[in-house]
Amino acid sequence: MFRLVTEVDRERRDLLRTRLRETNTAASSVLRSLRGTPHEREFPLHVWVLDATGGLAGGLVGHTWATWLHVTYLWVDGGHRGAGLGSALLDEAERTARTERGCAAARVETWDFQAPGFYTKRGYDVMCVIPDYPPGITEYTLVKRLG
């Protein structure tokens, strides 16, 4: 007999994550090889651009894991767009990921009204397109080999 429960439960979530990690590690020699190495865990990578008064002009929030940089957020204040700050943020994150963390590739998700063109101009390739996610918007997943 089973019972389905729909509720937020952090203890069960953590147990599920642990069990899934164990199952995945047992099934994948690649994931097993990461165990005990710096690439086993996600490490935050943040890059900030501050204006002359110390205010936030832009930033990039991401993490590195398993020799990949994952860009979660990249934003530049409207008053500073077009000045190359987005490129500077991405360049610094990629440099840090490559030279200090041994990353070989980067990935990002973005919506059609955000910046897919920005990323393709920066050498990213579209790997996945999901229409209507959310409804009326298209999401792109892009990747780049860091050289």
Q: How confident is the model at residue 1 (pLDDT cuts 50, 70, 90)?
A: very high
Tokens of 48: 């900030």
pLDDT at 14: 96
Cβ atoms of 49 and 85 closer than 8 Å: yes
pTM of the model: 0.89
pLDDT at 65: 95
Q: How confident is the model at residue 120 (pLDDT cuts 50, 70, 90)?
A: very high
CATH of 40-145, one of 3.40.190.10, 3.40.630.30, 3.40.50.620, 3.40.50.880: 3.40.630.30
Q: How many CB atoms lie within 10 A of CB 54?
A: 7
DSSP state of 100: I
C-alpha 73/C-alpha 17 separation (Å) is 24
pLDDT at 67: 93
Could you report the per-residue pLDDT of 13-71, keeping only the tens digit for each?
A: 999 999 999 999 999 999 889 888 877 889 999 999 999 999 999 999 999 999 999 99
C-alpha 90/C-alpha 85 separation (Å) is 9
Phi-psi domain of 56 (left: phi exceeds 0; alpha: psi -120 through 50; beta: other): beta
pLDDT at 42: 93
pLDDT at 37: 84
What is the longest distance spanned by two Cα atoms in the chain? 64
Question: What does each C-alpha distance from 6 to 1, 18, 24 come to in angstroms?
Answer: 17, 20, 25
pLDDT at 12: 95
C-alpha 69/C-alpha 100 separation (Å) is 12
Tokens of 63: 């993490």
Peptide bond into 44 cis (omega under 30): no
